[in-house]
Amino acid sequence: MASTEQDPLLLLRQSIASGSAIMPTASAEASAPEVGLSLATHLTFTSPSRISLPIDTPTRFVSNETPVDLRSIYFAWLNREVAIPEYNSFASQLNQDLGGKAQVHKFAYIEKLDLITWLEGASEESECIKPLAGDKDGSASAAAAVLAFKGTVVPPIGSTLGRSGKGTLDPRLASIYNSERKMGDRNSALRGIKPTDFSHVRKLAAVFMTKKPLHPSSSNISSSPAIASHQKQKRPDPIILLSPSASSLLRMTNIKSFLESSQYVPPNSLSASSSTTANMLHINRLMKDIDANRPMRFILVEGIEQFKPEYWNRVVAVFTTGQTWQFKNYKWSNPTELFRHIPGIYVGWRGEQPPESVRGWGHRVMNVAVDRWKNPGATTVDSSRWRDREAVDGIWKVIESNMRAKGWKRDQAPSSI
C-alpha cells in the first residue's frame, strides 16, 4: 500500500465518487463474474482501470490497533444506512456463511460513522485511518483522498466520444481536457501533494528564539527534544446523548433543526420525519470560548450500544425526560451520580411543571421550556417561534461552560470527567 493507485481505501472512495462498479469476484481475472461476499476472494474496482485486490487485504483503517480488512470495509459501506443492531446481525450471518475462513469486523458506531463520512467525501480527516507509508504528517494521504473524490474526470455515461478504443481517451476529448484550467484545492495551492521539508527554518529561527525567551524556563525548553510536543493534535468530537423515550420532545428527527437552526418542530411532523432516519448524526457549532476559529462537530446518539469506556470522557450533555430506565446501561446508572459528571437537560412545554424526578435532581439538570406547537398539521416552521432561539442559546451556554470546566481546549479533550 505504498502507492495511492493500489491503496484499497482510496480506490474504494474514488469508485464511490465516480459511481463506478465495485464487484466481489472469485478470482482476479478480467472476465470473473460478481459473486456474494461469502464466496469472494477479490474485490474488483472498474474505474479508472480494472484493478482486483484480495478481499482480505489489510487497510489503513485501524480498530483497537488492528488493521481492518477490505471485506469488512466494503461490507460496512454496503450497510451504511443500517442501524447498528441490524448491522451486527448481518455481520454475524456473513461470518456463518464464511464458515470460519474469515471474520467480518463489527464496527463500533463511532468508528462506522467516521468511516462512512470519510468514504462519502464529507470529511478529509479520520481518527482511525493511518497515513500512507512514508507520509508521516498525513498530507499526501489527505491530498490523494481529495484527488480521489474530486479530481477524477468522468466522461458522460453512454458517450461515443469518450473512448476511441479500449482504455484510450479520444484525442479530441483529451485536447479539450488539456485546455481546462486546473483549479486545485487548499492542499495543492499551499503545499502540493508532495510534503515539503521546512526543518531548515527551525535552525534559522533558533537564534531569535533564544534571544527573546517567552517564558523564564524557555532556555531549557529550546534545547530539549520536548519541542516535538508542539505538533498539532487532533481533537476528538464531543458526544451528546438523547433520550430514546417516545415521549421526548426532541428525537433524532428534529434535534438537528432545534440545536442548529433554533427552530422547534414536533418529532413526528412531516418536516422533521423527512430529515433523517439515522440512529446517529452530527451537527456543527462554534464554541467561541474554546475555539473561536473553527466550529466544533458534535455527535448525537440515542443509544449506547457498543459504547467504548473512553467515549464517556467525550459526553458533554445528556437529554432526559425524567425516566430513570434511560440510564440503566450508562457508566453511571444513578441519576444523581450521572449529573454530577455530565450536565442534564430536560425540555418540556412552557407553562408545565417538569416531572418530580427532574425537580429532585436539582440544579444539575437544566429545565428548558418551549412553546407548544400551534398547528400539528403544518408542514412549515411556525414563524412566531422566536423564543426557541433563547432556549437553544441557553442550552449551548450550559454545554460550553461545562466543557471549559472539564478541560476541553482548541486541540484536545479531557482525559477524564
DSSP states along 297-358: EEEEES--TT--GGGGGGEEEEE--S-GGGGTTSSS-SHHHHHHHS-EEEEEETTSPPPHHH
User: CA angle, corner 123, sides to 230 and 49, nearest 5?
Assistant: 115
User: Who wins on pLDDT, 87 or 204?
Assistant: 87
Beta bridge partners of 368: 347
The CATH number covering residue 348 comes to 3.40.50.11990
Report yes or no on 208 lying in a domain.
no
Grid cell digits, residue 286: 462554534
Do 245 and 385 belong together in one domain?
A: yes
The residue type of 207 is V
Q: Which residue has the cell 422547534?
A: 264
Average pLDDT estimate for 129-154? 58
Is 409 or 209 the better-scoring residue by pLDDT? 409
Buried b (16+ CB within 10 A) or exposed e, 262-299: bbbbbbebebbeebbeebbbbbeeebeeeeeeeebebb
Which of 111, 130, 150 represents a domain boundary (last residue)? 150
Q: Calculate the average pLDDT of the chain.
A: 79
Is residue 8 predicted with pLDDT exceeding 60? yes
Instruction: Compute the average pLDDT of residues 269-293.
Output: 76
Q: How far apart are CA 258 and CA 109, in angstroms?
A: 23
- With 80 as the cut, is the pLDDT of residue 316 above it? yes
Task: Report if pTM > 0.85.
Answer: no
Please state the domain count of the chain.
2
**Is the pLDDT score of 277 beyond 90?**
no
Report d(CA 398, CA 339) in Å as an integer. Answer: 13
Domain, as residue range, for 267: 239-406
Point out the domain boundary residue: 118, 150, 182: 150
CA–CA separation, 281 vs 277, rounded Å? 10
Q: What are the tens digits of pLDDT across the range 26-46?
A: 988 888 888 988 899 999 988
Q: Are residues 138 and 8 in the same domain?
A: yes
Tens digits of per-residue pLDDT, 120-135? 887 777 888 888 776 6
| Highest mean predicted confidence (pLDDT) among 177-191, 199-213, 222-236 | 199-213
387 and 259 in a common domain: yes
Spatial CB neighbours of 249, under 8 Å, sequence gap ≥ 6: 264, 266, 267, 347, 348, 349, 370
Provide the 8-state DSSP code for 80: T
Side-chain-side CA neighbours of residue 126 (13 Å): 26
Span 376-404, average pLDDT: 80
pLDDT of residue 225: 43
